[in-house]
Structure 1
Amino acid sequence: MSGSVNRPVRRRTFVLGAAATAGTAALAGPLAQSASAAAFGWSDDGSNYVVDTGASLVFKVSKTNGDLTSLVYRGAEYQGYGGMNSHIESGLGSSTVTIRQSGSTILISVTYGTLRHYYAARSGENNIYLWTNKADTSVSATRYILRVRKGLFLNDEPDSYTYAPTAIEASDVFAKSDGQTRSKHYSKLRVMDYDYIGWTAGGVGLWIVRSNHEKASGGPFYRSLLRHQSADGGGLYEILYYGQNQTEAQRFGLQGPYVIAFTDGGAPSSALFPGTLTTPWADSLGISGYVGAAGRGRVAGVGISGRDTAYPYTVGLANSAAQYWGSARASDGYFSIGEILPGTYTLTVFKGELAVYTSSVTVSTGATTTLNTIAIPSSNDPSNASAIWRIGDWNGTPSGFKNADLMTYAHPSDVRAASWTGNVVIGGGSETSAFPCYLWKDVNSGLIVYFRLTAAQAAAAHTLRIGVTTAYANGRPQVVVNDTWTSAIPSPPTQPNTRSLTNGSYRGNNHTFTYSVPASAWLTDTGAYNTLKIHVVSGSGATGYLSAGTSIDAIDLLA
């Protein structure tokens, strides 16, 4: 999804940004700003270090705990709501906070146990650069939340609570009076889809430009809350590790920079984007864990053969210390991924979000590792298998299934959702759009697929495959054919153990369940419909949309 400015609400607009549209927006440069009479420098007011960037931005950081306590742009205060400051986690508590100026850079360092956090300002810029170094699990999660005063950027978008006062799940999913749902989780976006998040109103844009997420977890397709809006104020987030719907163990080390950026209402400059931003000025600042460009390498691939050109391909690199990714060129599969920490990585090629190739690659300091054309074996893509019928396609997502698009920004109970029940007949051409993207034990378990077989097909055993993208509470499919043959209950694959299907994410661990259906299970009357009942089974889960469930990638009966 590319960045866009949506329909204004009360003359204020809401923006989620991506690099694809940055060139069409009014840009504010990361360096040169309008002339200002203020002088670049810092002072101490007794409780805070006060930094004047020499442009239009003055901010304060608490000397006690490292909170960002004030954020004044063009004389107006933007920081804070509900008596709370902006900070790592929900505030670090008593910390050691220091400041020093090195030429045109001011660096504030915050030490809290094993965690190190940094704020940097550059002369003449309306930006704050942030780094966070998490060394271990003594801090439970890693996020930075920029808390923004109420009334400045009101909106009624999916991640807003402003006009949705009724809680319908936990304390973070709400319903409006018209039946639409809202939650801070409903961002619509995967990590790879956005470069910045924020708002614009009254000639002011306030943004967080994300980091490259090399020390985050979940890969390029991970979905997480990005911001929220309520009557109390708004929040912008940089989520570096979040326990919600995680597919990987967390990584430790320095993450950043991510940037708090003010503009004249346009998008932040693309020079601040991950993959574009360079910070040679930070090389000598002594930031714990910092590795400059000279200490990194690159991986480049000549191309990828065996692709299905109807789908985008992404190349990911991951090990226990870092993760990276890049898009493969549509014409030939060429890819290049830079600014990589040296080490050995698992390289994965994804068709859509489905892994279809893996190998190992080693990255060396200051060097480019060049790979010859990667050939994806035909058998690695399940779409290449000959099928009697297929619902959906194998791309690692529930795209095309009923309600799939809506579920990235709404609750399953949302009034806009089509009925989650209803059976499917093979051969009508609308099998995928009629099949619900999610199945739950307490909502639509027992859904029936009707299909005919030829005499030759009915005389043979066949393999049935059901691909899933995630599951909640160990929900997995058990099937019944013609009410005469019932599969065994499959073992649950490893999946995240938190909510997913109700908070905007189908992303988990792709898994394929296979069922060997004997010939004796089929009807011999070629004019009659065979029936396939798909049940969701689990000993866990609650009720309704929080009962055990799963997200569907594709279903097929192999020839």
Structure 2
Amino acid sequence: MTAPSHKRHLTRRRVLGASAIGVAATGAAVAGGTGLLSSASAAAFGYTDDGSNYVVNTGASLVFKVSKATGDLTSLVYKGKEYEGYGGKHSHVESGLGASTVTIRKSGSTILVKVVHGAITQWYAARSGQNNVYLWTNKADASFTATRYIVRLKPGVFPNQGSDSWIQASDRIIEAGDVWKRADGTTHSKHYSGKRTIDYDYIGFTTGSVGLWVVRSNHEKASGGPFYRSLLRHSNDLGAGLYEILHYNEAQTEAERFGLQGPYVISFTDGGAPASSLFHANLDTSWVDGLGISGWVGRAGRGKVAGVGLKGMDATYAYTVGFANTDAQYWAKASSGSGAFACPGMLPGTYTMTVYKGELAVHTGTVTVKAGITTALNSITISSDPSGAKTIWRLGDWDGTPGEFKNAALMTYAHPSDGRATKWTGNVTIGSGSEAASFPAYIWKDVNDGILVYFKLTKAQAAAAHTLRVGVTTAYANGRPRVSVNDWVSAVPSAPTQPSTRSLTTGSYRGNNHTFTFNVPAGAWKTDTSQYNVLKINIVSGSTGSAYLSPGTSFDCIDLLA
């Protein structure tokens, strides 16, 4: 497709003649947080056709190209320097769509590129005077297995450092082609971002004088909720990548959602963080309403949920209120004092509402959202916190994470074999004063199976049956705990539903929280109160594997009820 005849390269005369237009555009640029621009620069806003690509000049310091054949983003030139592309590949949705129908049009101070390929429609937008590219992805069905956008960047333009970076020339692969180990024993992978979705608004790189960022969308059509972890960026000696992950099909706990997602933003800066006005919670999207993007729902078509507070909170933990149905997901942080929360910008519908203590669901309900209306909720009393039960002893706490246990923090940005990890073996004695820190966050059948927990009971306690609870956060290869107490051995529990992909070795303990309950009879205990009872935890599974890819599970909390 060729550009319309009136979309020509601006000659020097046309630029000077159009400078008055630039003055008007400057006001919009300042309002958008992009800073004051020269009239000549603003007048350059527009697009041309170089035969293979649509070439978009933002009227600021950014010029980008979109392939007319595939819809790939083939160039990102900021202040005269090219940043895009590595390994013969460009930036694109999925792994590249291939032959697509690509069109472009200018609407006032916005240029919009539309890319159509089967079930996926991808949009790119430029706004006059901004060093940003706005993107949307609309996926209609599961004909593509994942939903991501990857921005591919040239090698060497940004520092190659961090847990999600590696040196391909010297590091060695230790797992599945995407986990690397360095000579110093540290492990690196694109999976090791160390962040949950709720933890970040943007990711990227900076040299100190140039920053290139991807500001995430609100993820309303993504899957996995606020605590989902996935790859966000990577870098190595051959190039670097930034990701917007909408459905990666790894460690997923929910079915895929379909429909329009965005905008997410590629943003250049002079080295600092992207403007907070680009964050999804702050972004003014009124300019999108008239663009005709299919699936777009503006502010007027959305509603809000507001709650006056939560009762029964544990002040030690942060609380999050999540909303989910088959079409969308949202979440809001509850205030640390009253537990008040507000979740604006929601699509109309009925949602399951879940209150999380840390990452553990402790209350559920339903709420209906209507366009243009705030649904007000009275105080919610937390009804299902397992921490309220009276115990004889407890390892860790019920918060939906293995955070109190050995190596837990490291595992969000390293492989279990990392040289910084404390030995995964080692038994625990209740009353030693460091029980949780000594208990491993993960147990695998082929690595540290058979961890022992020693504890004593009083005469009265030993005379009664007790319930042992074992909380887990995820599992690999159907790994689950089977326990024995002294000579008593439990039945093999059924495997709960968990993600079928890698998780424990790719920086995520996040799955479906599940509590195994074992009813231990009175006859199982030692009758001599001076002797230790011995709890043994074994991992059982109908599946096989070796080392850190053998069946395993991640622990939330273990306790013996009084």
TM, length-normalised to structure 2: 0.93
Give the residue type in structure 2 aligned to 1:481: V
Q: 1:337 to 1:116 in 2, by over 3 A?
A: same
| d(CA) in 2 for partners of 1:300, 1:396 | 25
2:166 pairs with one of 161, 165, 169: 161
Q: 1:529 to 1:217 in 2, by over 3 A?
A: same
Q: 1:325 to 1:408 in 2, by over 3 A?
A: same
Q: Is 2:489 the partner of 1:486?
A: yes
Q: Is 2:189 the partner of 1:183?
A: yes
Give the residue type in structure 2 aligned to 1:406: L
Equivalent in the alignment of 2:154: 149
- 8 Å contact 2:160–2:237 — kept in the other structure? no
1:345-494 alignment runs, 5 A limit:
345-377=351-383, 380-482=384-486, 484-494=487-497
Give the residue type in structure 2 aligned to 1:515: F
Q: Is 2:480 the partner of 1:505?
A: no
Q: Is 2:304 the partner of 1:301?
A: no
Shift of 1:36: 6.6
Shift of 1:275: 1.1
- 8 Å contact 2:305–2:342 — kept in the other structure? yes
Question: Where do 5+ consecutive residues of structure 2 fail to align?
Answer: 1-29
Q: Is 2:83 the partner of 1:78?
A: yes
Give the residue type in structure 2 aligned to 1:257: P
Q: 1:469 to 1:340 in 2, by over 3 A?
A: same
Shift of 1:32: 3.4
Give the residue type in structure 1 aligned to 2:240: G
- 8 Å contact 1:28–1:263 — kept in the other structure? no
- 8 Å contact 1:28–1:264 — kept in the other structure? no
- 8 Å contact 1:156–1:162 — kept in the other structure? no
Secondary structure of the 2:453 match is strand
Shift of 1:156: 2.4
1:370-400 Cα deviation digits (max 9, x unpaired)? 00000112xx111110000000000000001
Q: Which has the higher contact order (CA 8 A, sep 6+)?
A: 1
Secondary structure of the 1:37 match is helix
- 8 Å contact 1:181–1:414 — kept in the other structure? yes
- 8 Å contact 1:28–1:267 — kept in the other structure? no
Secondary structure of the 1:221 match is coil
Q: Is 2:212 the partner of 1:213?
A: no
Equivalent in the alignment of 1:44: 49
Moved more, 149-158 or 212-221: 149-158
| d(CA) in 2 for partners of 1:74, 1:510 | 49
| d(CA) in 2 for partners of 1:392, 1:511 | 15
1:549 pairs with one of 546, 552, 556: 552
Shift of 1:33: 4.9
Shift of 1:279: 1.0
| d(CA) in 2 for partners of 1:450, 1:136 | 52
| d(CA) in 1 for partners of 2:478, 2:31 | 48
1:275-294 alignment runs, 5 A limit:
275-294=281-300
Equivalent in the alignment of 1:3: none
Q: Is 2:264 the partner of 1:261?
A: no
1:288-329 Cα deviation digits (max 9, x unpaired)? 100000100000000000111110000000000000001000
Secondary structure of the 1:117 match is strand
Secondary structure of the 2:161 match is coil
1:342 pairs with one of 338, 348, 351: 348
1:218-233 alignment runs, 5 A limit:
218-233=224-239
- 8 Å contact 1:451–1:529 — kept in the other structure? yes
Give the residue type in structure 2 aligned to 1:507: R
Shift of 1:177: 0.3
Equivalent in the alignment of 2:62: 57
- 8 Å contact 1:349–1:357 — kept in the other structure? yes
| d(CA) in 1 for partners of 2:499, 2:143 | 22
Secondary structure of the 1:107 match is strand
1:506-539 Cα deviation digits (max 9, x unpaired)? 0000000000000000000000000000000012
| d(CA) in 1 for partners of 2:327, 2:156 | 41
- 8 Å contact 1:28–1:269 — kept in the other structure? no
Greater Cα radius of gyration, structure 1 or 2: 2
Percentage of pairs with the same residue = 68
1:319 pairs with one of 306, 321, 325: 325
For the aligned residues, what is the CA RMSD? 1.2
| d(CA) in 1 for partners of 2:80, 2:107 | 26
Q: Is 2:525 the partner of 1:522?
A: yes
1:262-297 Cα deviation digits (max 9, x unpaired)? 001000001000111121111011101000001000
| d(CA) in 1 for partners of 2:392, 2:120 | 56
1:321-341 Cα deviation digits (max 9, x unpaired)? 000001000010000000000
1:123 pairs with one of 111, 125, 128: 128
Give the residue type in structure 2 aligned to 1:532: L
Give the residue type in structure 2 aligned to 1:153: F
Equivalent in the alignment of 1:539: 542
- 8 Å contact 2:159–2:207 — kept in the other structure? no
Moved more, 69-78 or 200-209: 200-209
Shift of 1:348: 0.3
Give the residue type in structure 1 aligned to 2:293: I
Equivalent in the alignment of 2:109: 104
1:432-455 Cα deviation digits (max 9, x unpaired)? 000000000011111100000000
- 8 Å contact 1:424–1:434 — kept in the other structure? yes
Equivalent in the alignment of 2:12: none
Shift of 1:37: 3.3
